[in-house]
Chain A
């Protein structure tokens, strides 16, 4: 019994990480219907950037990752803004193919540049033992401090993003441009700028997700596509247009994988895919779809 509670708990916490992966993807797709197939690779890129930044600060291992994350945020926002403004905006249109091809190409470039710079060896961001610390809940039941922190950040991000989307002028602009780009243009909005802001914010989420992932586990340059898949599955399970949905989607995926892993170490990922495919068959719009 206790071991089942443990499984569920670990699954929920793992789901927080998947939700973090997925929220940036959900934002980009929700605002401009752009499928960023390089999303996972950007997370890995952020993890490596966090790794290098943490080393370059010269601080103790307990402080360096967090300083690196803070330093990475403005860089990530600028990179996201620039990428959208000067590259991806030109790929958008009625035809989804150009944006798919360009982001797919970016994914390959990122993987190869990372292999060139960091070699194929997996790395991890040293956090001075924080990644293995845990909190005992009762006899025989404990949760990792880092997974718990990641989960709390994911919840905070979901609440924050939903608030941004529903209650702020910038969120209103995101929704308006997503509804009708030409009408928004008539109101004086520059949709290219609005799109770029959306990707900038999505890259903030990518920076947070990437650094936390790099602290939690080892990352290799070619890990991106797997993360993209988890992000996709979380977005689809949760449903478009709701960040709470994405959070729940991530948790569903995490719990399913944890249950799968419990039966057999090779079954976890596979269980996740099964739930995702079942979802596509029976409820393709997801659990909490607000749009389409």
Chain B
């Protein structure tokens, strides 16, 4: 579904990615792990169009999309839950969700189905988003991404800064999200969470893929070597 081939990325003279090869198939949950600065976010930002990339380096459903504007990419069916949630702070919960529907594609996700997935959001729908708890804000961010009815949902560090029980609560929604054939990429610093929720896993280290394989089959030693490089 999404194929990334030999992707390189730069911030000015600094090279952040050194030829990433990556693939995700329809209805798969793939995790990307790696330490701070390994290039995870750079990789995602490139896929979503926030960073420039050669047109052919990123292909989505057999069409080249590398370097397209984010607005065009979301209209093709890739939605992003950005790191740090990035909710619109002067908008209510419901208004945030409606912003996600700005580039709306046809599909099952609507205000009603997001509220069914996260019932707490319906109770808080008119509340300003900054007054929510961290976990609830993360739910809004996920719901907002779903509102565009993507085929591919990319979640960047959704466990960051949340209590383990809240992280579990949020990841418990993943099967329901995938039920309609959604494909998901999760980026995680928490290796345990990443291995539990995904079927395959990529580990990045200093801008390169240092390990890839079936999440359940990778041993702790393999992962920690690929993660830390020691």
Contacts and interface: CB of A to CB of B under 8 A. Distances in A.
B117 interface: no
Contacts of B89: 179-180
Nearest to A189: B102
A182 interface: yes
B71 interface: yes
Contact of A184 (B48, B79, B88): B88
Contacts of A291: 90
B67 interface: no
A185 B99 contact: no
B83 to A, nearest CB: 11
Interface residues of B, number: 24
B82 A188 contact: no
A180 B144 contact: no
A187 B90 contact: no
Could you say which interface size class chain A belongs to? 20 to 34
A176 B71 contact: no
B88 A175 contact: yes
B74 A186 contact: yes
Given A172-B99, A190-B71, A183 B50 contact: no
A187 B99 contact: yes
B70 A176 contact: no
Contacts of A186: 48, 50, 70, 74, 79-80, 82, 86
A162 interface: no
Contacts of B71: 185, 188-190
B82 to A, nearest CB: 6
B125 interface: no
Contacts of A182: 50, 82, 86
A180 B86 contact: yes
Interface of B: 48, 50, 69-71, 74-75, 79-80, 82, 86-91, 95, 98-100, 102-103, 144, 148
9 contacts: A172-B99, A179-B89, A182-B50, A185-B69, A185-B71, A186-B82, A187-B103, A187-B148, A189-B102
Interface of A: 169, 172-173, 175-176, 178-180, 182-190, 241, 290-291
